[in-house]
Amino acid sequence: MKKLKKRWGIESNFQLTIILIVFAITGSTSAWLSKPFCLWLGITSEDLGFWFTPVRLLLIFPIYQVFLVLFGFVFGQFTFFWSFEKKMLKRMGLGFLFKE
């Protein structure tokens, strides 16, 4: 845990616990919402077969990103999650989305 705290620039175990809780809630919420979201879009495993899961993951990815920042805000960790998002998207080649 010390390495993780140092890597993320976190001082307290409490803050680390809150951050891990936010990751857990975000992942669970995204997974839970992915089925109705795909049904709403009319995407089914019968139509796509093998490609259903990769397509579902690609569709839910932006929703996960929004929820991560939203839940981070609700739990008082907006600054951490906003910088985490920017860093991750820059590594994915989407840094042009942020002016700095």
Residues in the chain: 100
Mean pLDDT, to the nearest integer, of 18-34? 93
Q: Are 80 and 21 in contact (CB under 8 A)?
A: no
Structure tokens at 94: 């989407």
Give the model's pLDDT for residue 66: 92
CA dist 20 and 97 (Å) reads: 26
Residue 2 has pLDDT above 90, yes or no: no
CA end-to-end distance (rounded Å), the chain: 31
> Over the stretch 49-99, which tens digit does the pLDDT of each residue have?
888 888 888 888 888 999 999 999 999 999 999 999 888 888 888 777 766
Residue 42 has pLDDT above 80, yes or no: yes
Give the model's pLDDT for residue 74: 97
Give the model's pLDDT for residue 22: 96
Give the model's pLDDT for residue 89: 83
Q: Which of 29, 28, 58, 32 is nearest to 43 (CA)?
A: 58
Read off the pTM: 0.81
Four-point Cα dihedral 1, 63, 83, 16, nearest 10: -20
Q: Write out the E strands in the chain.
A: none
